[in-house]
Structure 1
Amino acid sequence: SQGLGCFSGFLVSMLVAYLLMKRKIVKMMSGYQVLRSTLQFLATTDLSVMGISLAKDVDASLPVLDDFHQAFEVVFVDPSGLVNLCADMTASKYHQVQFEAKRSMEILDDRTVDGFQVLLMTTKPMLRAFDHVFHLKHVSKLQGTCKKMQLLNELMDRGGNYVAAALPFVVSLLARGLAGRALLVTHSLPQISEWPIDAEPPKHKDVGPLTFGLLFVPEFAASTLEKGPQADHPEALDFRTFWGEKSELRRFQDGSICEAVVWQADTVCQKRLIPEQIVRHLLKLHMDIPESSICYTGALLESVIRTGQEASGTGEEAMVSVVCSYDDLSRKLWNLKGLPLTVTAVQGVHPALRYTDVFPPIPMKPIYSFHTRIRTKHLLLPSEEKPCPAYIAPLKIVCHMEGSGQWPQDKEAIKRIKAAFHLQLAELLQQQHQLVCRPAVTHTDVYKDGYVFRLQVAYHREPLILKEVVTPEGMLKYQDTEESRQLELETLHLPYLTSSLHGLQQQHPVFGSTCRLAKRWVSAQLLSDNISEECVDLLVAFLFLHPAPFTPPSSPQVGFLRFLDLLATFDWKNNPLIVNLNAGLTDADLTEIKNKFVAARSRLPIMFIATPKDRWSSMWTQERPSAQILQRLLMLASESLRALEEQLMDPLNSQDVKMVFRPPLDFYDVLIHLNPNQIPRHLESVDRPLKSFSRGVVKNSTAVKILFPVVDYDPVQCYLQELRVSTALWGGIGGYLPKGELPSGVQVISCLPLQDLVGDIFMYFACHGLCDAFSDLALFFYDKHGGEVIAVLWKPLSFQPQPFKVASMKGRMVTTLNNELVCIPNVEAILEDFEVLGEGLVKSIEARTEKWTI
């Protein structure tokens, strides 16, 4: 609404006056009806084709509308019949207004959307409204454009303003080159600043960089082929002239020989940037604008989810490979012979199987020299002398078995039957398909194509049986238990969510990459342990299913910017976030959810997300985040969005967009610096390390008989997480602690030599977790994707003196306060604990003593 050629408030007033004159608006209409009528007129009337006039009297001496159309792109004549009110407006800018009017009408007609809030209270900056944005840094280059395109008449009309003269031609060139790919090609408005009357007016180049926005058609934006007319048609010459040296003759499968342009792109990431190739080529060919003057910001953020050192793509191909291997394993499970009960469903629940894993698994084969071999167990263990092996994530699959009278009705007996199924699945997969398997009580791990799949057998009645409670009177009743809720989550809700989001990825190809960017940001802020992956996936799904006032994102970067905006601006206190997966909720359902939410707000999670299968409990945010963590997340999202938009809209400065993925550490009390060679995901860090370590695996998916690799082993997570056993088993990468106490008083009850730890290795190859031992004193924050620092925040209440009690002396020391014995945290001993427990993993501990007092 501001700048040269804008659709200003004055123009809107004139348009309403025109509609009043034509009786399309009457005095009896309400403000809402006037708005709808105006939007309807804009949406259906193209003033670049058929102009309008406010002149009432027909005067033969006045120019007609056709005369105006020959001189201007958009025509709206004032009451005198001599002045075009839209003289400076380009056709592309009016088409943008038209597009927004159509979109606004759709939103007003959608009863599930708050039209007032969305249309009149939500800003639409270019970076969030358009899929790709690029800048013309040096507008002075448009002087050469005017010369090359022979725009002398236009220059004279504009008083020598080469920016205004060349801009319509630049936009029309791009619109033709991106036809079929882009729904809309638009530009920013040159801002002409004020100047003192006794000074020289600003030069034309002083308008600063010009910004262009591209809104894509998702189905065709990444096409590598631009097919032209057949070689013997007269249009072929025009096609060759337009595309220049890029055009070449090609024979197609139908036998036709046509002019065509083929753009080089091997990965999905590169295909998303084909519009950049087109923009740079056409501006250089026809406008004499060098590539150095173009700053294309469409995919600057994607570098943080590139995989491996070679960074050739952003992981989409790896994700497809995982899904193909999973599909093949599913077919093998369906067709297994010899099972007493048939398999009724195979459902993947790992994020990679819904395309949202930040760094998808890569086929791996272990190098034996980097491991200790336990031949009797057919297992490998990490070698003490070598760096920690690469992280291999188990891809969890739920395998539903048919219901039968053979299933027992006792929960412990069901667990034993499932354990027997896990053993039998491993045996049959080895016999019938020669797959390397490792069965356990709760699952079976299958090594296939270089991936490790974790099969978990499920019985549909088990959650109900777990809910059975016998009252003292002998009556049987059903009530939710922690165990039943967890089992329902793993075997019912998570498979449904994975299936729904997999379907969403098929509709919107950039959904997965947007989720990965969002989760990478959350982890980079050290908050991945405080907000679940499923919660982030649902937040991003909301952006695609309910994009108003925008269209669904067609690039990961714009999706990520909207994710930050959603986090920062959504009213979490007073509104539920309703994600209508598979359109499973009706208007009545939405109203009911909102009403019940208001009635029960105080008992519900601070971040409430409702879905068709989870309307009242918000299971993915039930435990986390806490109110304090959510507040921190909102603040970080707001600041990150502001910083990112400043960077992306300023092409003349260095664009270090990774800055928003580097967490501010001055907020924390203690920093635990880690040894990089014991961080298995070190290559996933935001700033790729200059020095990397061999991790004892090679990329290999060939089917060979090998020993089972070390699965799900991350020493940092072992160091942080509470383990299932409550005894301290290990004191470092290279040994184990003797029985006794740590300096702070944490008890070491038992110890085991390394070679005995051969069960689920990641559960045992660690000490009593920090979070378990010190959770009452501190909070721990870590970037699980290659972070080199664990940040510690002391809990304020933990530093208040406590009455002396023998039972509460863990991590505390006795002192005298007002002639009374009290307990206070023994910080020095606790910091020593951190170092002792992380021997071999912890490099140093930085205590920021000014941040806490005793």
Structure 2
Amino acid sequence: MERSELYPNQGIPEGFFDIDESDEEDVNNASDSNDDETIKSESDIEDDRSLDGEERLGDVEITKKRPFDGGTCLTCLTQVRPRASPASPRLGHVPHLPHRGWATECNGTEPVSKKKNKKNKQLDPKLYKPPTVKELNQLRETENLFNSNLFRLQVDQGWLKSINVKMPMKQQPFEGKGSFQFIKPSAVSIVGSFASNSCVGPDVCIDLAVEMPRQCFQQSDHLNERYLCKRALYLCHLAGTLQSCHLVQFASFRLCQGDPLRPLLEVRPVGKLGKRVVVALRPVPQSGVFKLARFSPEKNNIRPSWFFTTSDAIEDSYPPTPHHNHSAIQDLATTANQEYCRQALEGHPNIKDGIRLLKVWLTQRKLNKGYGSFGGHIVAQLVSHLVLQKRISVLGSSYQVVRATWVYLAQSDWTNFGVSLAEPSMGTPPVSEFHQHFEVVLVDSTGYCNLCANMSKETYERVKREADLAVRCLDNPNINSFQVLFMTPVPFYRQYDHIVRVSHLSRLKTDQVRQLDHTNHTLPLAQVPILATLREGLGRRVTAIAVSLEDTPHWSISIDPPASADSLTVGLTLDPVHAFINIDKGPTANTEEAEKFRDFWGPKSELRRFPDSSICEAVVWPVITLADKRLVCGQVVEYLLASRLGLKVTYVADQYETLIKHSKVKPADFEYGTGEEATLAVLSVFNELSKQVRELNDLPLEIISVQGTSPVFRYTDTFPPLATQSRPGKKVTKDGPTCILLNDTSAIGMAPLWIPVIEDDIKLSLFPAVIQLALSKKWPNDLEAVRRIKAAFHVEVAKCLSQQCGLTAQPHPNFLDVLKGGFVFRLRLAYPREVGLLKRHVTPHGVTTYVDTDESRDLEKDIVHIPTITGAVHGLHQEHPSYGPACCLSKRWLAAQMIDPHHFPEIVVELLVAWLYLSPEPHEPPTQPQTAFFRFLHLLASTNWVSQPVILNFNTELTRGVKIFLTTSYCYSILFKGEEVVEIEGVFQSSRATLPPLFLATSYQPSGVVWTKRNPTLQILVRTAMLSKESLTIVEEKLFSRHFDTKLIFRPPLDVYDVLIYLRPLLNPRRLEAVDVNKDQPLVNLPSYQYHQGEKLPVAGFNPVQCYLQELRETYSEFALFFHDSYGGQVVGVLWIPAAMEVLDFKVSALMTIDLY
């Protein structure tokens, strides 16, 4: 292609190829100068055979294709005629120099020939003085200009337009000196994971090192991004050529490890191969072009006078540019590092398998992509180092390779004691020199390239934590470590308690030295001060600070590269011991440390006197509820980043917790928050009642304990009850002897005031509690006699509570209702032998057998299993305070999908959430309820319940040791008493066909069928999996949006139902708990509860909607399924059962099993 075609009507500015004084000095003083010759005259240029062989290699090839036949001067646009060169048999041309030299000044006329200049030699000898170095450099470049593809390094790269390729690197600043000559690669070799046979899928990436010949470079190309710019131009030429190749499906650019100075060209082949294979082209300079020492961390390769255009540029010194040097030296060290891996890995497939597993482990945690990531090349170099250092045996298995690497990472400290893979005698810079410029140090085999140069301390610490967690997973025999470590994805938003998204990073002002080093790369410039501020401000409140490593996108070769990321996402793992403290106590007043404390916190700092009489600087964060305490870290982050750095943040921590807040009900005694305060109020009253019941006198048997079984006692009641003042109404209720009653009317226009009820296996109960009596031999063996004794005991307890404690109590045959503190508690007498009596069956032959019945299972669950689980879950919440709100949020989501406790029992939801805390791998137990909720959605969406048993090992009572424990079949639940995890898994596998779809075993109920025998069904599990998967997709897409509607995933799709039944709102007593409450609904202010003598029990447990649903299910369960949001839903969804819609022949036998109404 002719130069005139590439640059129509354009010329090269004067002095473009010049070397300024600073560059000339650097070139002369550089230790790695490649220019050992001095050009003194034109004949030297024409006759120098070495230049013909090296500098003009590209020229020879082009000349053979088409001899030079003239061209256009790029300065004056005049024609240049060819001439025969006496020093070379090939055609040449008259060098046409601008302004001065061997030709007259360009003025738009024909150039003066050399012969004419000789005639005028005597007239003006000044025109023929010896040429300067600048002129000779210009002459040589102009000589090559018409014989090769030599292009300017400025943005004026018109040749890119002709091939429809855009520069993949932003050239900043715009102007640059030097020239670029495209010459075909001197070598192309396979490097990276494919060369070492350690690549992983799903797409196989083949890295090709395309070697740029030395003729493409000049002696000062290490300065001012010239090498990196030439590298990008080389990629452009390759892209323009390959895009028209019939073997290439399409080509695109991407950044290597997120570095904007190191673009790559990715090519996908045509056909089926392109679906699984991608080829990445990585230009590297030919060996010996640059000396590695030129790019050591202490060197400066970006001149301030070139980079800064303002008058305040740094002129007095050349500060080191270690990060810029790292961008260049990675290419120089490619071959050496590939050879290092080859020596360690060749002939050891087990080592390569271990590297593959480590790469999969990093991929699942998204640690291997993005700027500052722990990429696969670091893993390969590290494992090779451990192999050569004999820390990994070449005879070991892939498991041993992975474990040894994790142990080494967990125990390493590259932030203070970096590691060098180079030989000590190589004379390379010491590791201490790297520590002066980088946070994390792992020097490669050359001794000059820090493989972790762009890695932050937080990312390295994250890798260490993950490695330590992986070792603990391997040592834990109770979990499937392979599934956890290699098969489970760990996205950022599910891994950390709080997520901070900092936007508009470009607004952050940084010093010029760092701007020079990072060449205005926004992300690292902003990341360092932000992380330093968070690290100092949060202190002990967090156990980990992590940076989300965003994968860089691909872009077409015909468009400009995408703008640099202008946001930073940071994750925080809270320390449950210190995170919720709302006072930051500083140093004692009038000290130097106090002055620093005040400087850091600004006006937030104040002097306070503490209980120990000390007067210290302190920062106080306002909190009211427990939910506010969980957000203290959010207050700290938002204040510090705004006051110190002028940045605004999007804080993700509690957005979904608004769904478990009462928006239209306001109690007078406390702020409702997310329900914890209301739960504590119930527990406080219940503890007083329990004490009063245990101290009752004049009872036939002593009461030894009163244990709550309602979800409120497990901190898992979505909307805990609120104390109310019970008074009879006028239209709906009326006054009774000891209770408030419903009016005697057949039509109720409005439901009475809602007294919260808890649904347990479709039976309504008010704060159920179990009364345990002392042992006695006088209990009868007849079931009916036992029930009559229990009823009589309820009457006696009610009488004693009324006489001795002044409480209102109403006895019933099966339970006792007690009013205390504005709450109604339902007490039941527990007699364990009653379960055996229900199971007892006498055959006609007089043989007594014990058979499980639905009634015996329900009673056993109420008086044995639920009290046991309530105690275990209560202890779990005390250890992890986020458990309770997480359960409430999870149950709220399920109910919002119209999957009520009839289809998915509440206790099952609570146990599944508990499983996330007892077996959190591959995470740590969550501290924020919202994080646990996200993990619950992922559990529902991704778990294959057919092959995955749920085993809750409370208090680590189960181990994997096999024990054989023989017992009678008196009670089915104790058949497995003492069983271990292996045996439970064995029962699950051998009896899978007869077990429920969801197998849920605990330390106390190892049979796995106690909680899920009836529900959820397989169809419900499939439905919840689909809904949770869609919800997670919405969360991932919209979580950081400023206008994200959190209620979106709580609104169910109604188009899937065959029939929709809309309810009358006034007959729904829980309408104020709905997801979308009527905006016109006034706020309900609940007055404080005041005890008064003779108060009566309110109408409790009356919910017309639940009564209607129960009647529908009892009547039409053979024909349809009914769905409803139990928290204020206004719609009942109906799905016809397909079998009920089948057409049957009219036969008497077909009617025998159908009830006719």
Say if 2:437 is the partner of 1:71: yes
Say yes or no: does 1:302 pair with 2:657. Answer: yes
> Do 2:749 and 2:1067's aligned partners in 1 also have CA atoms closer than 8 Å?
no
Please give the alpha-carbon distance, in whole angstroms, between the structure 1 residues aligned to 2:1152 and 2:1135.
Answer: 18
1:74 Cα deviation (Å)? 1.0
Shift of 1:120: 1.2
State the AA in 2 paired with 1:557: Q
- After TM superposition, the structure 1 stretch with the greater mean CA deviation from structure 2, 393-402 or 507-516, is 393-402
User: What is the CA distance between 1:472 and its match in structure 2?
Assistant: 2.0
Instruction: Tell which structure's C-alpha radius of gyration is larger.
Output: 2
Paired position in structure 2 for 1:266: 624
Specify the alignment match of 1:554 in structure 2. Answer: 927
TM-score by length of 1: 0.85
The offset of 1:566, in angstroms, is 1.1
In structure 2, do the counterparts of structure 1 residues 653 and 798 end up closer, same or farther at CA, with 3 Å as the change threshold? Answer: same
CA distance in 2: counterparts of 1:696 and 1:426, whole angstroms: 32
Task: State whether residues 390 and 695 of structure 1, in contact with CA within 8 Å, keep that contact through their aligned partners in structure 2.
Answer: no
Residues 1:136 and 1:811: Cα distance change in structure 2 (over 3 Å)? farther
1:544 lines up with 2:917 in the alignment: yes
Offset of residue 483 of structure 1: 2.3
Structure 2 equivalent of residue 719 of structure 1: 1108
Aligned to 1:645: 1036
> Structure 1 residues 564, 361: closer, same or farther in 2, change over 3 A?
same
* Counterpart among 1005, 1010, 1015 of residue 624 in structure 1: 1015
- Of 373, 376, 394, 2:734 maps to 373
Q: Which position in structure 2 is the counterpart of 1:792?
A: 1134
User: Residue 582 of structure 1: CA displacement?
Assistant: 2.2
- Letter paired with 1:225: I
> Does the 8 Å CA contact 1:672/1:790 hold for their aligned counterparts?
yes
Q: Note if contact 1:403-1:460 (Cα within 8 Å) is conserved in structure 2.
A: no
User: What SS class does the counterpart of residue 446 from structure 1 fall into?
Assistant: strand
Contact residue 418 and residue 442 of structure 2 kept, 8 A: yes
Shift of 1:806: 8.2
Displacement after TM superposition at 1:195 (Å) = 5.2
The structural deviation recorded for 1:696 is 12
CA distance in 1, matches of 2:484, 2:750: 56
SS for the counterpart of 1:101 is helix
**CA shift for structure 1 position 196:** 6.0
The change in CA–CA distance for 1:41 and 1:621 in structure 2 (over 3 A counts) is same
Offset of residue 221 of structure 1? 1.3
1:295 is displaced (CA, Å) by 1.1
Q: How does 1:377-526 map to 2 (within 5 A)?
A: 378-381=739-742, 384=748, 386-393=750-757, 394-526=766-898
For 1:211, the equivalent position in structure 2 comes to: 569
Structure 2: distance between partners of 1:526 and 1:717 = 13
Q: 1:667 aligns with which of 1038, 1045, 1056?
A: 1056
**Aligned partners of 2:419 and 2:1085: how far apart in 1?**
73
Q: State the SS of the aligned residue for 2:584.
A: strand
User: Cα gap change, 1:702/1:177 in structure 2, threshold over 3 Å: closer, same or farther?
Assistant: farther
The match for 1:230 is: 588
Aligned to 1:365, what secondary structure does the other structure show? coil
SS in 1 for 2:705: strand
Structure 1 residue 779 displacement after superposition? 1.1
**Corresponding residue number in structure 1 for 2:708:** 348
CA 1:211–1:465 in structure 2 vs 1: closer, same or farther (change >3 Å)?
Answer: same
Change (3 A) 1:788 1:386: closer
Aligned counterpart, 1:8:
375
Given that 2:1121 and 2:1136 are in contact with CA atoms closer than 8 Å, whether structure 1 keeps it comes out as: yes
Of 382, 386, 391, the residue aligned with 1:19 is 386
Is 1:610 aligned with 2:1001? yes
Query: CA 1:714–1:564 in structure 2 vs 1: closer, same or farther (change >3 Å)?
Result: same
The alpha-carbon distance between structure 1 residues 701 and 517, as it changes in their structure 2 partners (threshold 3 A), is: farther
**2:955 alignment partner in structure 1:** 582
For 1:742, the equivalent position in structure 2 comes to none
Matched, 1:252 2:610: yes
Say if 1:806 and 1:303 are closer, same or farther in 2 by CA, change over 3 A. farther
What secondary structure does 1:35 align onto? Answer: helix
Paired AA for residue 302 in structure 1: E
Written as runs of structure 1 = structure 2, the 5 A alignment for 1:265-344 is: 265-289=623-647, 291=648, 294-309=649-664, 312-344=672-704
| One-letter amino acid of the structure 2 residue matched with residue 333 of structure 1 | V
Question: CA-atom RMSD, angstroms?
Answer: 2.3
Tell me if 1:774 matches 2:1116: yes
How far is the alpha carbon of 1:269 from its aligned partner?
A: 0.7
1:129 maps onto 2:495 in alignment: yes
Helix, strand or coil for the counterpart of 2:720?
Answer: coil
- Residue 373 of structure 1 contacts residue 380 of structure 1 at CA under 8 Å; is this kept in 2? yes
Pick closer, same or farther for the CA change 1:809–1:706 going to 2, 3 Å.
farther
Name the amino acid aligned to 1:543: L
Query: Quick one: which amino acid aligns to residue 323 of structure 1?
Result: L
Tell me, in whole angstroms, the C-alpha distance in 2 between the residues paired with 1:807 and 1:220: 72
Measure, in 1, the Cα distance between the counterparts of 2:721 and 2:378: 56
C-alpha separation in 2, matches of 1:255 and 1:807:
89
Q: TM-score, normalised by structure 2?
A: 0.63
- Indicate how the Cα distance of structure 1 residues 81 and 785 shifts in structure 2: closer, same or farther if over 3 A, else same: same
Cα displacement (A) at 1:470? 2.1
Query: Distance between the aligned counterparts of 1:169 and 1:351, measured in 2?
Result: 46
Q: 1:656 to 1:708 in 2, by over 3 A?
A: same
Q: Contact 2:478/2:959 (CA < 8 Å) preserved in 1?
A: no
Q: Distance in 2 between matches of 1:596 and 1:190?
A: 44
In 2, the alpha carbon distance for the partners of 1:639 and 1:182 equals 31
Query: SS state of the match for residue 86, structure 1?
Result: coil
Q: Which residue of 2 aligns with 1:34?
A: 401
Which residue type is aligned with residue 179 of structure 1?
G
Q: Deviations over 1:305-337 (max 9, x none)?
A: 012425751000111111111111111111001
Which of 133, 154, 160 aligns to 2:520? It is 160
In 1, distance between residues paired with 2:410 and 2:486?
A: 17
Task: Supply the distance in 1 between the matched residues of 2:588 and 2:778 (Cα, whole angstroms).
Answer: 69
Taking a change above 3 Å as real, the CA distance of residues 564 and 782 of structure 1, as seen in their structure-2 partners, is same
**CA drift at 1:118:** 0.8
Distance, in Å, in 2 between the alignment partners of 1:480 and 1:39 is 50
Structure 2 counterparts to residues 745-784 of structure 1, below 5 A = 769-784=1111-1126
CA distance in 1, matches of 2:874, 2:608: 36
Alignment partner, residue 287 of structure 2: none
Quickly say closer, same or farther: Cα 1:49–1:633, change in 2 above 3 A: same
Question: Counterpart of 2:425 in 1: which secondary structure?
Answer: coil
Secondary structure of the corresponding residue to residue 364 of structure 1:
coil
Give CA deviations for 1:330-380 in whole Å, capped at 9, x if unaligned: 111110011111012211100001100111111112242354324346432
Out of 1137, 1140, 1144, the position equivalent to 1:802 is 1144
After superposition, give the CA deviation of every residue in 1:141-160 in whole Å (9 maximum; x if it has no partner). 33x3x2xxxx2211110011
Q: Deviations over 1:757-804 (max 9, x none)?
A: xxxxxxxxxxxx111222222111000100010011111222222344
Residue 680 (structure 1) aligns with? 1069
- Letter of the structure 1 residue corresponding to residue 798 of structure 2: A
Instruction: Tell me: CA distance 1:595–1:701, structure 2 relative to 1, closer, same or farther (3 Å).
Output: farther
